[in-house]
Amino acid sequence: MKNAQNNQQIPKRIRQTEVVKLQVAGQGGVSAAGQGKRPADFIQFACPVKATGVELRVIVWPDETQIVIFNTITWQVVQRFTQTNIGINPDPGCQYWVSLDTSNRSISTGIGEIRKETETLSYRFKADSGEDEKIIHDMFHSIETIEVFFDEEAFEASAFRFPVTIQLPLAIIPANKLTMMDIADVSDPDQLTGPNSEKTKVTIINNLPAACQQLYANVAGQSFQLNTQDFPDFAEAINHNIITEGCWCHDKLIEKAKADEFGGGEKETYLRITLGENYGNSPGIPFVMEIWPIGHQSPIHNHGDANAIIRVLSGAITVNLYSMLSSVKTNQTPFKTATFTQEDVTWISPGMNQIHQLTNEQKDQACITIQCYQYSDSNTLHYEYFDFINDQDDKIEQFYPNSDMSFIKFKNIVKTEWEAAQRQHQSMKCLSS
């Protein structure tokens, strides 16, 4: 970031403007996403400070982003902070956001999901005295609206309630395991070092949306296990079923590879075993056991703006998170990666962790997860698809969350085939002795 002069001129023709009222004065922010056929050349968020003749502005140019303190009386720039090489995104539907944080005297902006990891530029006002601190606090607190300017034909803007302050934890742990250090270290950037450091930052389910809490209550209990008294080798049997020709899992995966529904060939296949029925409050049946063979992965996809809980029942799954679902290749680089192992739980909510890719990077066993989904009560659209990026042409397509088989039927088939294999193995042992 640099404090510099800039000679770029604001376009004389601004096609669209919208004034968005903040939900809390001086706090939270506004996001705006284009709806045209081409990217904008200029985007501005203007935050007027009442009775001072000053505006805080965030300006996004084609090749840079600026935070500007602007005098609306003299029409002069008081101060300008610039982040070069990060400007207008080539995706016309890209979301841009601005966050105001009165408590920490800061303004920030970013691209994609509204979160710390997608931040492109921020500035924190310095206070050398208590008087300075009060002036800055009052300045922020007087901001009640943000006016959004686009030079494109259409965009959609909305307000969000809370400022972007810290990186949110991905891993959920039981409340009785949360320590004082877990809470104290939540905003410590040093915690983000080391291998798979995302799992060192944790939260509890009570901190997440109500729909996540309801899903978690269904699948996080001690008795919700793959291996049970009636089938203690279930996980091992599934692994055997995947690699054994003629068994259901093996043959189904071959069938799905030939169908190539995601465009990624054999390695972009997995099994979806559903539990229960579609109750009309989720994309497809809400509870799905997913089976990921060694080296297999999903396409990059979203989750229909639904909430979700993912628990690893066996093995390990690697999660790549993306700031947006985009057919633009440069937007298909993950901003965060974490690997979750058996008994780990992670989460998804509307607008947070919504776009990901799952991969089984293990060399020795399949990964088996339970995934469950539910719309928020405020969601009246109920979009029934997961949008994904087809690997063959990078186009965004729709996937209806289907079922390869119901859980009870699947368990019976795997158990029957496992027991037959065990009998055959025992017979071979007897013949060789």
Please give the helix or strand (H or E) that residue 413 lies within, else none: helix 407-432
d(CA 379, CA 305): 8
- Beta carbons of 282 and 373 less than 8 angstroms apart: yes
Please give the helix or strand (H or E) that residue 426 lies within, else none: helix 407-432
301 is in an annotated binding site: yes
137 is in an annotated binding site: no
- Beta carbons of 389 and 300 less than 8 angstroms apart: yes
d(CA 196, CA 427): 45
Please give the helix or strand (H or E) that residue 271 lies within, else none: strand 271-275
141 is in an annotated binding site: no
| Secondary structure string (H, E, C) spanning 25-82 | CCEEEEEEEECCCCCCCCEEEEEEECCCCEEEEEEECCCEEEEEEEECCCCEEEEEEE
Q: Where are the beta strands (DSSP E) in 295-409?
A: 307-314, 316-321, 336-341, 345-348, 356-359, 367-374, 386-389, 396-399, 405-406
Paired strand residues for 146: 20
> Residue 358 phi/psi, 5° resolution?
-105, 140
Annotated binding site for Fe cation: 301, 303, 356
Annotated binding site: 301, 303, 356
